[in-house]
Each structure stands twice: as structure tokens, then as C-alpha cells.
Structure 1
Amino acid sequence: MKKITLVFPTKEYEKQILDYKNEFEINGDSMDGTAGLQKARSFNEWFSMLIDNSKEETVRTGFVPSSTYLAIRLCDKRVIGMIDIRHRLNDYLLQFGGNIGYSVRKSERRKAYAKEMLCLALEKCKDINIEKVLVTCDKENIASSKTIIHNGGVLENEVSEGERITQRYWISLY
């Protein structure tokens, strides 16, 4: 049963997006897959960056084109997660970040939303002709590794970045 849908962020969701950011900040969590929301000083600054980075012609230096979506719970229209699809990989993303980053707010975890979010994002990857998707996670993040494996991820290897060990999974879409 479909519990969520992925939608492009709009001004309509500004309050919910800022509440989402606040929940992560209060809990000291990492906001993966939010297209820089953690560093943005305002919704408008973040949204402007999101729009710029959505096209090859306007992508900001150091970034790759990407599509960012809100995971909206269908029954009450609450933002429960965010997911970012990077259309191509640069050197850093190839090693550590992957094609897809995502997060679920702490109050909504352990409800299988991440599995559904990743599944829906993989369909969007097909729409933009990405044939093989790299999804990474911290080795300590067991829930994320289970989410990736559930969606067809095959562990290629683990790489170190300082003290952190990143697991690199590939998902073939065709």
C-alpha cells in the first residue's frame, strides 16, 4: 500500500520544510538528501539553490544537477522525508555520496518510509535514464543499509573517509 508520494518542493511547503530542518537540528541529526538545507539561512536561499542545481546550465560550482523531492505522507500531507537524486556523479559522489541521498525525520523513523522513498526515487531515476544507481551509507547506519538492500542494492565495497567508513551499493535499474 502506497503511504507516501514524492513531490517537488514549493513555497506551499515552506513552514513544513523549516519544521523538518528544525527537528533535525534539535536532534543533532545529519540532513542527508536535502540539497543543502542544513546550511541555508532561509527557505528562499535554499529554494534558489535547489532551482539552480536542477539544471545543467545553472548548476552551482562544485555541484551536479539534481532533483530534490519531499516525501509527503498521503493521509495527512506531512513532510516525513526528503530525497535528492543526483543526475550524474563527480569524483566525490562516486566515492562517498552516490546518486541518491535521503533522510527521514526522527519522529517518523522505523515505519518503512525510507524503503518506499528509495523505491519511488529509483522510478524517477529511470525517467531520467540513469541505468545504474550508486547509493551509499555510513557503515554504522544499519537501517539505511537494509533499506538499500531491500531495493536491490549490492554492496561493492567500503571506503574510508577519515574515521568514517562508507558502504557503496549499486542498484541496476534495467
Structure 2
Amino acid sequence: MKFLRPAIEYKQQILEYKNEFIENGDSLDGTSYLAKYDVCEEWIKFVLDNEKESTKHTEVTANVFLAIREEDNKLVGMINIRHTLNEYLYNYGGHIGYSVRKNERRKGYAKEMLKIALEECRKLAMEKVLLTCDADNIASARTILSCGGILENEVKAPNDAILTQRYWITLKNKLVL
């Protein structure tokens, strides 16, 4: 698997990814507002601008990566790495958000993506990384635990019935992939 920054050459796959998630009623986690964009080029500009403190459009600087399966150059997932946390991200969103296509789940891609993302966090000199998931998302919880996540607590956002689990991963010098 390789991580690539969003690029126009993947426009068709990005649009198919977005439509697939919408049709399935799935959350586009880790896609940095992809659902809000009708024009792929505008979304690509948004996420690339958001990588730099000087041009970011959101409260925190972040990187979005396309997770591309090398054998067939297929987009299987997306992941968003936030360099810092605002209050909402600290409580409910975490440093990393990710999603995997429905027909590509249960193949180990989420775990592989998270491991690569943790290496990216290490490059950003992060020492601890917060990940969150809905309490009923057993697959995501297992992925986080398999990468060293330690459950800190469970919280509910105001006016939200969903219970969120908060996990911390302490980054060591080198993660074994």
C-alpha cells in the first residue's frame, strides 16, 4: 500500500469513493469534508492548502492521504492526520480519521493504513496520538488496539446519543511494520 496526496489523476476514483460511501450511508471519515464538495478539483485544493499553516482553511493543519493498493493502483481508503487538536478534536475526533471502502473491509487495510499514518505522525515529531471511534464500531476499536491504542475513556458529545471511545497511542522511536 502507498500513501499519496490527493491529485487530479485520482479524480475518478475519489468521486467513486465519495459516491460509494454516500450510497451506502457510511461516514466519510478521514476525507476532510469531501462530502461537501461537488467539484473534485476544489476539494483537492482545499486539502493541499490545509497542509500549510499559512493557507489552512480549518482550525488545525492536516494532511489527507489516499491509500492506494499498489497491485492495481486502486483507492481503498483515505486517512486524515491532524497535526494538533482543537477542543472538539481533543474530545471527539482525535489526530487521525480514516475510512476504507465497504468492499475492501476486513482485509487488513485499516490496520496497514494506521501503521503508515503513525509513521507520518512520527515524522511530525508527535509523541502521543489520539484516536477515537464510536463505541459500537468494534472493527475500528480492534484496529486501534492492534496498533497500541490504550482506551482512556468514553464520552458523549452534547446533544449526541453516540458514545465515543478515546484511545491514545504513544509513539516510540520506530514502529515495526
What is the TM-score of this pair, normalised by structure 2? Answer: 0.94
Matches for 1:19-98 after TM superposition, within 5 Å: 19-60=16-57, 62-98=58-94
SS in 2 for 1:163: coil
> Are 2:121 and 1:125 equivalent residues in the alignment?
yes
Asked if the contact 1:135–1:170 (Cα under 8 Å) also holds between the matched residues in 2, the reply is yes
CA offsets per residue over residues 75-114 of structure 1, 9 Å max, x none?
Answer: 1010000000000000000000000000001111111100
Q: Tell me how far apart the structure 1 counterparts of residues 59 and 68 of structure 2 sit (CA, whole Å).
A: 26
CA offsets per residue over residues 38-88 of structure 1, 9 Å max, x none?
Answer: 11121012112102211111111x431001100001110100000000000
Give the CA deviation at 1:171.
0.2
Asked if the contact 1:53–1:63 (Cα under 8 Å) also holds between the matched residues in 2, the reply is no
Pairing partner for 2:98 from 98, 102, 108: 102
Q: Tell me how far apart the structure 2 counterparts of residues 115 and 63 of structure 1 sit (CA, whole Å).
A: 27
Q: Could you list the runs of 5+ residues in structure 1 that have no partner in the other structure? A: none
Letter in 1 for 2:131: V
Q: Could you list the runs of 5+ residues in structure 2 that have no partner in the other structure? A: 173-177
Q: Tell me how far apart the structure 2 counterparts of residues 38 and 129 of structure 1 sit (CA, whole Å).
A: 30
Q: Tell me how far apart the structure 2 counterparts of residues 146 and 55 of structure 1 sit (CA, whole Å).
A: 32
> Are 2:170 and 1:172 equivalent residues in the alignment?
yes
Give the CA deviation at 1:5.
1.4
Letter in 1 for 2:96: I
Q: Tell me how far apart the structure 1 counterparts of residues 143 and 165 of structure 2 sit (CA, whole Å).
A: 13
The residue that corresponds to 1:114 in the other structure is 110
Equivalent pairs: percent with the same residue?
A: 55
The residue that corresponds to 1:157 in the other structure is 153
Q: Tell me how far apart the structure 1 counterparts of residues 88 and 29 of structure 2 sit (CA, whole Å).
A: 15
Give the CA deviation at 1:9.
1.2
How many residues in Structure 1 have an aligned counterpart in Structure 2? 170
Letter in 2 for 1:166: T
